[in-house]
Amino acid sequence: MPDTFNADFTQFVQERIRPAIDAIAVRKRSGLFFSLAIAAVVFVVLAIAVHFILLPYRELLGARSINPWPVMLLTPAALAMLSFSVAYILSLRKTVAEFRETIIRRMAAFIDPSLTRQRAKREGGQAEPDASPLFSGMGRPVSGTDRFLGHSGEASVEFHDIHIPQEKDADNQESLTGIFMKAVYPRAFRDPLFVLPQGVEASRSGLEEGLREKGASPRGGLVRVEDTRTFRQILKPADAPKWGDGFLSAEIGAKLEELRRQGSELYLGCFGRDLHLAFLSRDKRMELPGAFEGFDFGNCREFCREAMVAMALTRELGGRTDLWQAE
């Protein structure tokens, strides 16, 4: 089947993204003119007020060779500039927030019609990515924002835009940005699994501790094996034969390899009824747009592409009959 993603995305941008950018640009200009109008009114009112306040003292000021005009003009001008700045910042902040919300909502619909926009924080203020065993061995905080909810096959899914900062005084580390997806299936995996990029030294004890917290502690702990086809390294129980070389289809494997060549590394964890998946990159191209000027369509395209691959992988694993515990 030919990959029509680029053509579909181009059409999506022309029909759904560019109109939003144009509408927001008009709203930004309106906010600018409104802020200028407020500043003009403030200047005129204050100039008149200062004039009448100083009027009784004009002769006294003149006798002392004090020029009242700087006070009459500079004070209203300074307060007018302040009022303009406050009004424009508030208008711009609201406009950017509305733009971001519009783009995220339309991206969700493009990725999959079942996805809807939700708040990123759970009760207690903890984002789901930070609670994932997938990142338990990193020793760095994981912050998550824009949350999508939906379904992929039998699984309920949620997406987050995530950021993992560089540790202080860690010269050999880089910040990571990307997406995180959690899928919950109606049944449990037979055995846990973690898939990590080449060169990532995962802490087995950290992963095992994360699994214990989730009630999915592996028998005999995790062992590291190499996958020569799709992934770089796998951590799994020693007696888990189903997790092995090329356990995904060639189509999904090709998409994952393409993403890897573009700099997006796969982090994957299967345990209990959960599938946790992340695509992380060392640059900032995965971040969703925060402003509409200079909108980077590459950010939007790669986010959508990776989310679609994640949804396809979720459906594929859900259709397997040999990876699940007997009901």
Q: Is the pLDDT of residue 185 over 70?
A: yes
Res. 37 pLDDT band, cuts 50 70 90: very high
Q: Can you give the pTM of this predicted structure?
A: 0.73
Phi, psi of 161 (to 5 degrees): -85, 120
Q: State whether residue 261 is helix, strand or coil.
A: helix
Please state, in angstroms and rounded to a whole number, the distance separating the CA atoms of residues 260 and 251: 14
The tens digit of pLDDT for each residue in 240-267 reads 655 554 567 778 888 888 888 888 888 8
Which pLDDT score is estimated for 38?
92
Q: Is the pLDDT of residue 29 over 70?
A: yes
Q: Considering only 83-92, 171-180, 224-233, 318-327, which range has the smallest mean pLDDT?
A: 224-233
Q: How many CA atoms lie within 13 A of 33 on its CB side?
A: 6
Res. 5 pLDDT band, cuts 50 70 90: confident
Q: Which residue has the higher pLDDT, 65 or 16?
A: 16
Q: Is the pLDDT of residue 229 over 60?
A: no
Buried b (16+ CB within 10 A) or exposed e, 302-327: bbbbbbbbbbbbbbbbbeeeebbeee
Q: Which residue has the higher pLDDT, 168 or 27?
A: 27
Please state, in angstroms and rounded to a whole number, the distance separating the CA atoms of residues 35 and 134: 48
Q: Strands, DSSP E only, in the chain? A: 116-118, 143-144, 147-152, 155-164, 176-184, 193-196, 223-226, 233-236, 265-271, 274-281
